[in-house]
Chain A
Amino acid sequence: MRRGSAALVPLLLAIMLLFWFIWFMGGESDNLHKVNQLENLQHTQERLILAACRKKQELYDANRSLTDEQLNVKVSQYIHNIMILNNIDEN
């Protein structure tokens, strides 16, 4: 027993270290995680910029009587739908 209990010390230390690490990472990675989600959203937004431009042109070519405002509303709707598909916007 005595020999065995001596061997438990580093094991317990290791377990404590692991818990500390979990605690430590919990706090830190929360920030990392948040940044990542934000980054993802922003990358999505960036990619959609050209799609929005093209969509507006496409809508205009299809129906030249639409006003700029109407076109913008339609483009917004289109991007909103894409965001829904990407699980970002809520329906």
Chain B
Amino acid sequence: MKKIIVLSLFVLTLVLSAKTTTNVTLQTPYEEGQVQNDYGDKIMYQNVKINTQNFKINNFWGKFSDAAQNQSNFTNIATAANVKLTIENAFTCKDGGLPEEGCSGQKPFLINQGTLGNSELTKDAMGQNLPAGEYRIPFDSATNYNSLNNDAFYALDVFRDGKYYQDNNTNDYNNAKPKTFFGYMVKLIKTYFSPQNDTTIISALTQNTVEARNRYMANIVFGLQQDYRIKKESAIDTNSINQASATKQPSLLDYNALMINNTTGCDGIFFTFSPNSLTCKFQNFFGMSQWMPFFGNDTSLFGKDIIGNTIQSNSVLEDTETTLLTLASKLDNTNYVQPKIDPQTGKISLLGQIFKPMTFMAKSMFRFFFGANSKNLTEVVSVDFNFTNHMPLTFMEVQNGIVKGFKYFELLGIESVYGTEVQECTVKQTKKFFFFPIGWDTKTFTEGVATNTQFDMNDGLFGWASDSTQYNLLNLTTEKHWYWFPKTTHDIVNLSTNDWLNWCKRHQGKQKKGLFGRFFDTIGNITSFVLYGRQSTKDYDAQVDKVLRDDDWSVKTYKEKVHKGLILHLKNINSSDINSSTPGTTTEYKVMKVSRGNQSNNNQNSNNQSKGMH
């Protein structure tokens, strides 16, 4: 009996002295009903319960009053809530130094409805099918826009308040936390692209275009400003360009969209806004300008040779690429543009190792990368950046100028596409008389101007025939003349303008290997190919080479154009695959419904409201 009393007392003490503790139950977020809000943000819900156990309330008045108890003990006091999660693809907002209203999950990109149904966009650079849900969507300039196009994405000009992107020459980027977009952007570029160099910003465009450009890049980095986000079923002005600042209505965006520069005798140089600002010293700089548009300093990765030159790159295409690449670098904390020094030659090839030949390009891509009239593209290569974290992007899906919805993508990679197009070639023939040069003959071939040059294969002394297997693949005709002795029927090889131009490309002296050949010098073979036009085969080329070599032809001048394109390698993701753990997203929490419950172990009448809890 005594033992029981002692035990009871012990148990009672334990119960009364149980510690107050709080624990949390967090349900995994779930979807419910509407999963997108009007701005394309993912909506999820999460139930949370915070429960405090063994909560004691000491009642002061209990000391004076019989009616009041000294202490009330609650076994459970819980607050449960249904929390709404708004998940936006705005990962740079957090540390971008911008207030919340300056950023959102929307990016200033437009695709027409039906684009994802285009099977040409589901093939990789080699023409193989991509895994399900993946697309390679090229950039097209606003001037090409047509509401029926289903093969590209377009840039949008969406209004943004000046305070969210303008730089007032404050050198804001020197701050640990830049306040302006530019400070942030420049800091990013400094950090990820040229850690050892200072960066300056160059403006070569008109003020209005500069504004549109700055707005655009800010819109990519931070997403559209909250106040100017694009709502479902709202209109986009697809008939005008760069109108955001005037009308505050989203419109298409374009500035200096397709940059083409003649690269006569100076291969590897890739245009700038003002071609005169570049010289051939920049040869090795090829490929750099695209990733470092703000790069403009006295010392560079390539030593002190390029003093005083600046690289400018002001086009929608370039800016889209640079900005996305910088963002991905930020997300991955990786610099995707690393200079590589070849141990044998000591030459710095910046992107050499990552250039890949590209053998497949959708027909439409060709059109808008290289223009409707470009038909003789000799070479296309691409450089592909693969990202560790797949940056989320939200595109506007538009039909006839009305936003029909939002498409979520993950940016798997960026492909920078380069192509060279032959423009013109002047060739010369050294005339010889018994091995002594006695004069020259020159011909000029221009792309698009058809010519036919005939070579008599049997014009040797006594009509000695060349071995016909050495030219049998070429365009052959025969000609017959009674005065040809002893052989009256001769084989005639006909070379077209394209044959000449292709030959020029292969034999252009310093440029023998083509624009991109040099980058591959250190890494081995590269397949060169012809898009649109006859596919060059080794034998065919060899036979042309032989015919022209035997006839002593050589290249005098050679002119080609360099084109650039941009393809985004995207993966379409269902909204069900996005949650608050998706890299690159920001989640806003909002308590929707709160319910409370408590339970007192010495007051059976206490209100128990746990019914409403989940």
Q: List the interface of chain A (C-beta within 8 A of B).
A: 22-23, 25-27, 29-31, 33-34, 37-38, 41-42, 45-46, 48-50, 52-54, 56-57, 60-61, 64, 68, 71-72, 75-76, 79-80, 83, 88-90
Contacts and interface: CB of A to CB of B under 8 A. Distances in A.
Contacts of A68: 28
Q: How many residues of B sit at the interface, in one of the four size bands?
A: 35 or more
A27 B68 CA distance: 6
Most chain A Cβ neighbours within 10 Å, of B20, B46, B55: B20
Contact of A26 (B26, B68, B79, B85): B68
7 contacts: A23-B64, A23-B65, A26-B61, A30-B61, A49-B591, A64-B581, A89-B20
Most chain A Cβ neighbours within 10 Å, of B21, B78, B594: B21
A89 B21 contact: yes
Interface of B: 19-26, 28, 46, 48, 50, 52, 55, 57, 59-62, 64-65, 67-69, 72, 74, 77-79, 81, 83, 85, 580-581, 587, 589, 591, 594, 596, 598
Interface of chain A: mostly helix, strand, loop or mixed: helix
A20 to B, nearest CB: 12
B612 to A, nearest CB: 13
B591 A37 contact: no
A31 B60 CA distance: 11
Given A45-B77, A79-B50, A33 B22 contact: no
A64 B69 CA distance: 49
A45 B78 contact: yes
Nearest to A36: B57
Give me the 7 closest cross-chain CB pairs, A-B, nearest first: A30-B68, A26-B65, A45-B79, A27-B67, A76-B23, A26-B61, A30-B61
Contacts of A64: 581
Contacts of B28: 68
B25 A72 contact: yes
B57 A26 contact: no
B21 A29 contact: no
Given A26-B61, A79-B22, A79-B23, A60 B581 contact: yes
A27 B598 CA distance: 22
B59 A48 contact: no
A27 to B, nearest CB: 4
A73 B69 CA distance: 35
Contacts of A80: 21-23
A72 B24 contact: yes
A64 B582 CA distance: 11
A68 B74 CA distance: 29
Given A41-B55, A45-B77, A75 B61 contact: no
B589 A50 contact: yes
Contacts of B78: 45
A22 to B, nearest CB: 7
Contact of B52 (A41, A54, A57): A41
Contacts of A75: 24, 26
Contact of B59 (A22, A34, A57, A79): A34
